[in-house]
Amino acid sequence: MSFKAEKPSVLFVCVKNGGKSQMAAGLMDKVAGDSVTTASAGSKPGSAVNDFSAQVLTEVGVDISQNVPRQITAEDQSQADVVVILGAEAQIERVEGTLYERWVTDEPSDRGIDGIERMCLVRDDIFARVTDLHRKLTTS
């Protein structure tokens, strides 16, 4: 895979940019260090990062508590090598020349699991997917 810049770039997108996409970007930063450029955005951004999302990432040494949700732009997408859309709800206008993946992540609330326990399971699912994506991006 060839990249648009010196190193691969991933943009994580969800609806509010307050939970899953923020978690994915924070976890990619942890896994990749400076080997991958990461960003996150939302199709309809909320006003703050989800408290449970921030809490469960703190448990694994990642701090997203000061991050601010933001609107996705065409420029964000054109600069990214890969745009990962988390969940089935986020809909975005795709940009030519960028690869897209949709991750329909585990949803523990479908099994009656809520709160911090739900978010730990979501984090673990996203962490496994981020680790796999990092491997794909950094091995030829």
Distance separating alpha carbons of residues 6 and 81, to the nearest angstrom: 11
* pLDDT tens digits in sequence order for the chain, 140 residues long: 788 888 999 999 999 999 999 999 999 999 999 999 999 999 999 999 999 999 999 999 999 999 999 999 999 999 999 999 999 999 999 999 999 999 998 889 999 999 999 999 999 999 999 999 999 999 86
**For the chain, which residues make up each domain, given as ranges?**
9-138
Topology adopted by domain 9-138:
Rossmann fold (3.40.50)
**Helices (DSSP H) in 33-114: which residue ranges?**
51-58, 74-79
